[in-house]
């Protein structure tokens, strides 16, 4: 990703809240690898709600920096799953964070298990993924 001017403050530093947006972009891209991605999940009547978010900032990102947002899915159990993120610039860790999600039935908003096809695909992808530093 590239830090856009609109994402910065008067000093050209990326605003802290934009990291959550970057996390979401990475998460949606991650899910796009699996049978229809997030829209495919929704078309099956399942919503994945964000129920917690955390970000820890180490170094600032600046306007026009080129960043890499690493993401992996961990701790997938029942209806819940967690994504972990690392934000780097030229190999330097700027921030890390995580989001916790719960699957719910779109009509009733009652918790429902992560669909088996997705849980299996994520488990297979994470088993072959390189170790993450996030």
Selection from 131, 68, 74 nearest residue 101 by Cα: 74
pTM above 0.85, yes or no: yes
The mean pLDDT of 116-128, rounded to a whole number, is 92
A 10 A CB-CB count for 51 gives 11
89 φ/ψ angles, rounded to the nearest 5 degrees: -130, 115
d(CA 99, CA 38): 16
d(CA 22, CA 82): 16
pLDDT at 129 over 80: no
* Segment 49-94, tens digit of pLDDT: 999 999 999 999 999 999 999 999 999 999 999 999 999 999 999 9
Domains, the chain, ranges and CATH?
Answer: 5-128 (3.10.129.10)
């Amino acid at each position: 990703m590239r830090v856009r001017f609109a994402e910065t403050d008067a000093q050209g530093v990326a605003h802290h809240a934009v990291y959550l947006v970057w996390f979401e972009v990475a998460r949606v891209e991650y899910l796009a690898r699996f049978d229809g991605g997030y829209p495919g999940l929704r078309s099956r009547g399942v919503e994945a709600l964000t129920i917690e978010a955390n970000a820890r900032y180490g170094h600032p990102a600046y306007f026009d920096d080129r960043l890499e947002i690493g993401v992996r899915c961990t701790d997938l159990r029942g209806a819940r799953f967690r994504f972990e993120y690392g934000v780097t610039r030229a190999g330097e860790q700027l921030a890390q964070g995580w989001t916790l999600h719960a699957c719910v039935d779109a009509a009733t908003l009652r918790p429902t298990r992560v669909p088996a096809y997705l849980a299996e695909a994520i488990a297979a992808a994470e088993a072959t993924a390189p170790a993450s530093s996030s």
